[in-house]
Amino acid sequence: MDVPSPPLRVRVPPVVWIGLGAVILLDTAVQLVWKSLVLRVPPEAGLGETFVVAAGQPGFWLLVGLFGAMACNWLLLLAKADLSYIQPITALSYVTVAASSALVFGEEVGLVRIAGLALVLAGVWLISGTGHRTAKADALAGASS
């Protein structure tokens, strides 16, 4: 007699992976645009002048648009998965921001930083192997039974 074995891990729907990918891409883009705006501010500028100079550039509105896209994408992800699943996985942007800063701005990434990024990657890998939705699924199962 065949006895079905329980699944080793719950399948995460593509919409969640695509949403998480979008979080990482948008977050990396925000950091790069933000940094490029701040680079044009004189070093001696105060907080107010920094904002005025940054907001006066065309890239500022790109930044605002990116923030809006991030907010909408985040709400959609929250509707599809646990907060405790998706939020730690966004730490992947540490890795993408470090890599793109090295490529775009020529920033140095030393061995210690690479070790830290490896720990972040290991943590994200561990979390990605857990169920993506628990509380809401339980509530719905309870309501339908």
Partner 1 sequence: MSARLLGILFVMGSVLSEAFSHVAWKRAADASHPEAGLARALWTALRQYRMIGLGVGLFVVQAAAWTLALRYLDVSLAYPVGSLEFIAVVLLARIVLKEKVAARRWLGAALIVAGSVVIGLS
Nearest to 73 by CA among 104, 111, 114, 29: 29
Q: Which pair of tokens denotes residue 53?
A: 């100079």
102 binds partner 1, rule: CB under 8 A:
no
100 binds partner 1, rule: CB under 8 A:
no
Q: What element of type H or E holds 81?
A: none
115 binds partner 1, rule: CB under 8 A:
yes
How big is the chain by its Cα radius of gyration, in Å?
20
The binder of partner 1 chosen from 38, 83, 102, 103 (CB under 8 A): 83
75 binds partner 1, rule: CB under 8 A:
yes
Stretch that binds partner 1, among 28-36, 37-45, 56-64, 124-132 (CB under 8 A): 124-132
99 binds partner 1, rule: CB under 8 A:
no
34 binds partner 1, rule: CB under 8 A:
no
**Cβ atoms within 10 Å of 79's Cβ, excluding its own:** 10
10 binds partner 1, rule: CB under 8 A:
no
Nearest to 85 by CA among 16, 134, 18, 132: 132
Q: Which pair of tokens denotes residue 6?
A: 């329980």
Q: Which residues bind partner 1 (CB under 8 A)?
A: 15, 72, 74-76, 78-80, 82-85, 87-88, 91, 94, 110, 112-113, 115-127, 129-131, 133-138, 140
